[in-house]
Structure formats: C-alpha cells, structure tokens
Structure 1
C-alpha cells in the first residue's frame, strides 16, 4: 500500500507527500502520533490506544519506505535482542551504535 503510493503525485497523495516532502513534515507527524499515544495511555482508553497505535505504525511504515528500510529489517533487529536481558542488550547496543 505505502510503496505503491510512493510514485504518485505529492499533490494528491498524503503518503507521496510524506515520502517526497521535507523530512521535517514526517518527523512532526511521528512526534504528534507518539504524543497522542501518550495521552491515550494516560487516559487508560483502550480504543484510543489502538487507534493511535495504528496511526503511529502507519507513519513508521512510511518512514521505513522513505529511508529504504523494511519491516523485516526491524524484525531482524528485534530478533537479535531476543533472549538478552534488557540492560545487557542496551549496553551491547551502545557499543555498536555510532554517536552522532
């Protein structure tokens, strides 16, 4: 669905606009959706949490398409962490992640 919209006109496709437009527009949407999840969790509203999670996942998928990454790559990254304790995994990741 998202990949198919990539080639459409940004004038008529929201997805194409997020992919081809300024990076700041996509970043703004990611922050907005994450904030809406926080509000829904704070309110303990399961229907809103589900809806806002769907919105965030959609925008994450657009981000993956824009950056040329795949959902499979994300799942592979998560798989690498399986079976490791959270703190040990975090220390290991800090050793291999370049600092900006």
Structure 2
C-alpha cells in the first residue's frame, strides 16, 4: 500500500500545481465531469485489456484505472483510506450478502 499512499500524496501536491506542468492539475482545471469520464474510459480500457489484451496491457490499464480513481477521490475529498476501511468492513462477508444488504 505504500505505493498507493505515495501516489495519493503526489496527486494532492500536484492538484495545486500550474496545469501546464501537471496532468493532475490539468484534470482538476477541467473539472469533475472530465475526471469522472476519464475514470470511465480507463475502466473500459481495463475490461478490453482483460478480454483481449496481453498481461502487460492489463497491468498498464489497471495502473491507469487506479491512478484516475485516486485523482477523482482527491477531487471529492475522499481519502483512499476510506475506501480501504470500507473493504475491511466488508471482509469476511459474502459478496452476495453484502450486495443484498445494500439493496442492489
């Protein structure tokens, strides 16, 4: 998890950088809808890599997906630790039971 924690800190630092020098700052300047759309694009690319790409494609797209998720979480003021805490809360619970409890 150290890598994700470092990445989260880097994203926080770059959110306040000049957008011409930072991809993160440029995403922030373009707004939440662009960040959300980019996360969706990366999710689709990850699915495509899983179905028809190489292992390396899947690894690369998964890294892109996690990066863009962290950017979106930062924009919404949600620390990644909150996501990890939710996963811990769900640990040991059947996915089917958890989904039923949410009414999904």
Smaller-chain TM-score bracket: 0.7 to 0.9
The answer on 1:66 being equivalent to 2:75 is: yes
RMSD between aligned alpha carbons? 1.5
Q: TM-score, normalised by structure 1?
A: 0.85
Matches of 2:44 and 2:103 in 1, distance apart?
Answer: 26
Q: TM-score, normalised by structure 2?
A: 0.82
Query: What CA deviation, in whole Å up to 9, does each residue of 1:28-63 have, x standing for no partner?
Result: 211111111111111151100000000010000101
Change (3 A) 1:44 1:7: closer
The structure with the larger Rg is 1
Shift of 1:94: 2.9
For 1:21-100, what aligned pairs fall within 5 Å after superposition?
A: 21-94=30-103
Q: Which 5+ residue runs of structure 2 have no aligned equivalent?
A: 1-9
Q: Which 5+ residue runs of structure 1 have no aligned equivalent?
A: 96-100
Q: What is the aligned residue count?
A: 95
Shift of 1:17: 2.0
Q: Is 2:50–2:58's contact at 8 Å kept on the other side of the alignment?
A: yes
Q: Is 1:19–1:65's contact at 8 Å kept on the other side of the alignment?
A: no
